[in-house]
Structure 1
């Protein structure tokens, strides 16, 4: 191997390896809200509440080779059309990315980064619900890659339907 080649034969640029590099810089609670609007009466209610969980993922570039990914989780528990509790969590992660091909940025930001930070967001959410006087809410693991692929397929289908409608 010559001095101008790096690991696996990848050429070096200014003495640095040109292979893609990803690292988590920091994780943090960006926003957390817990509401228990019917306390103390809620603790006398019978039966299990209906739990509705919604997810949203956002990302943006915050510096050279630094990206923020925010996993937003909204949970609403209702029983007999009354709110038992509501939690809104925005959990962020800062990621350093180097030499990542442009076409791989979005899949990383919307599938892999949320997978990395989800266990930590899940714990924050469970603790908030428990601290509100309810059994901890343990969310099932989520396949963010499958969600990302499904969203891409929906977008492609919508474009195809728009093209067909435009040709008619």
Structure 2
């Protein structure tokens, strides 16, 4: 049984803004493979190579407005496996998500676009790459987790430092981030 203090007594009184869509909201509306390329340029010889392969993994985050409250976030990943004999495989993936954002400030939208959305999309892109490498005939590639929030903060600090040095605005656009595994 509810306490007296928990019972609504005045159902006619409505708080200001009831029913108004004023709360900030953001989320992934849809996600998809936009482009996938798998190259196995030295097959079948590459399957016989015994030399330790070197992995080079590069990634980039891009975004473009699709509508007022809809942005396409693109996580582009390139994974290359090489030995002294050549490239064993090259996988290029553009994995995208449509991100809906409403009632958010520009800074919040930017942070969600370049830090949170890639964090949400990455496990799915990681699986696509793993499956593509496996389907090319190699041991599946399991990419290490990426700290997108840490990279985002680092990129913002670098951009601010460049702006201070230049005394103005640094060029905008995609936020390239990268690394090698």
Q: Does 1:157 align with 2:161?
A: yes
Residue ranges of structure 2 left out of the alignment (5+ in a row): 1-9, 168-181
Aligned pairs (5 A) from 1:46-125: 46-80=50-84, 82-125=86-129
Number of aligned residue pairs: 156
Partner residue, 1:3: 14
Where is the helix percentage greater, Structure 1 or Structure 2?
1
- Compare CA radii of gyration and give the structure with the larger one: 2
CA distance in structure 2 between the aligned counterparts of 1:46 and 1:30, rounded to whole angstroms: 34
Q: Larger relative CO (CA 8 A, sep 6+): 1 or 2?
A: 2
CA distance in 1, matches of 2:38, 2:96: 18
TM-score by length of 2: 0.81
TM-score, structure 1 length as denominator? 0.87
SS in structure 1 at match of 2:92: strand
**Match for residue 19 of structure 1 among 4, 17, 23:** 23
Regions of 4+ moved over 3 Å: none
After superposition, the CA RMSD in angstroms is 1.5
Describe the superposition over 1:76-134 as per-residue Cα deviations: whole angstroms up to 9, x where unpaired: 11001511100100000011111111221111100000001100000000000000000
